[in-house]
Chain A
């Protein structure tokens, strides 16, 4: 900023210097360890899936900007974040053509159609994933085991499926901890969950790295800590309560906290600046809503995992939360 003595534009006059691109670049830094771990755990499949996810999001955004004659917003990193997060929520052996379709949907129907960055009511990455989940439910719930022996030398057969044809899976699928719990009442060791030694979506397995990335963003004041705290608190309290009431039927709080996409969702998806509330109290309520929905869907729903739908639902509610808790202006009489 060059220093001018006379400011002739309207407020705000003091900027912290953190524009969209600066914040978004820091989110990328925070995500890098997660990305690195997912490539380490799932090998070439993760690398290709992430590349396809980012590429499809970037190209869609660029093409749509061109088509509607706007200046391209590809350079501010926000689309890249959408692509990375979207990629991290996908199962490792998803066919690449599905990854590409989901990326196009994420940016076009999740964001651009509402007016681009800043106007999207939902987290675009999750819109893309939700579309894929509804369109290809079988492919989206088939998981390959992590740390396969040949993960750096060969791609799974399903990844390179010819576009629009159904995938063939070459190895036996590994059940995610949540699916094992839901369908076979089989708990997973907490340490495995924490270190990411389990099967799951690309970026959701290693809870420690996700937590570190989130803490980095919170420390740099680039993420509202009230949202993840609200989510974690609700999930811990509710699941501890149910576990206490019936330990055989309901898993314990530690399992609920570190399994599935809860960490990734709470840290990087629920905190989407556009689709979350702007008031601090609103953020707590929003977090609590997500936490409650996650517990409800996981414990009683038909699907083992519910973070995605919980966040999308809370996204839809968030403007109403803000409106509901608007403070009364000083001196206002009803």
Chain B
């Protein structure tokens, strides 16, 4: 009996290891490509990027492992820093929403936003991944010192297409909670990262 079980265990282990060995490099390339695509999407002129880690209170340190990083410094064709792609996540209507947004330090503005992961209600909350909603986040000017000086939320959620300022985000009809979740996640992330980025841009460049 034990011999059979051990035998089956060996067969199973062999199958898993074989499949893993074959697929692991492909999966790694897939993940890398997905990350690259997302970063190029949120910060248009990016030609290369490198991942950073927060060390201590406000020091950024370069890391080699892309997977676990929250912030990526993005460089243009001349290898000069144009901005950061920052990952942020928080609670949505049903599950965690993971976002990636690009912040340009040249124009001191949010350049774009993509949703990396969300399980919002299909047809309603899932519209946070739609072009119409994400276009709200193209070109929002937020000064690097804005957070410290104003002590207010950088972005504001509004309804019924009454947008008068780029910092106002139009809520999706019927999905106010999901829309608000995105704005809240972004506000929290901006308040956290912008002061750090403001201090850090010199050594990284």
Contact = CB atoms under 8 A, between A and B. Distances in A.
B177 A138 contact: no
A141 B174 contact: yes
Most buried by A among B124, B173, B174, B177: B174
A118 interface: no
A115 interface: no
A302 B180 CA distance: 13
B177 A137 contact: no
Interface in B126-143: none
Interface size on A, as a range, is: under 10
Contacts of A302: 177
Nearest to A172: B160
B149 to A, nearest CB: 30
A302 B174 CA distance: 11
Contacts of A137: 124, 174
A141 B177 CA distance: 16
A24 to B, nearest CB: 36
A138 B177 CA distance: 14
A289 to B, nearest CB: 26
Interface in A124-141: 137-138, 141
Interface size on B, as a range, is: under 10
Contacts of B174: 137-138, 141
Contacts of A138: 173-174
Interface string A285-312: 0000000000000000010000000000
A137 B124 CA distance: 9
A141 B159 CA distance: 15
A137 B174 CA distance: 7
Contacts of B173: 138
A235 to B, nearest CB: 25
Interface in A14-61: none
B157 to A, nearest CB: 12
A141 B124 CA distance: 13
Nearest to A173: B160
A27 B174 CA distance: 35
A28 B177 CA distance: 40
Contacts of B124: 137
A200 B47 CA distance: 55
Interface in B56-73: none
A302 B173 CA distance: 14
A248 to B, nearest CB: 21
A245 to B, nearest CB: 25
A150 B69 CA distance: 60
A137 B177 CA distance: 14
Interface in A100-138: 137-138
A78 to B, nearest CB: 34
A138 B124 CA distance: 9
Nearest to B123: A137
A137 B173 CA distance: 10
A302 B177 CA distance: 8
Nearest to A140: B174
Interface in B117-167: 124
Nearest to A139: B174
B61 to A, nearest CB: 42
Nearest to B93: A302
Nearest to B159: A183
Nearest to B121: A137
A184 to B, nearest CB: 10
6 contacts: A137-B124, A137-B174, A138-B173, A138-B174, A141-B174, A302-B177
Interface of B: 124, 173-174, 177
In the A-B complex, the 6 residue pairs with the smallest Cβ-Cβ separation, listed nearest first, are A138-B174, A137-B174, A138-B173, A302-B177, A137-B124, A141-B174
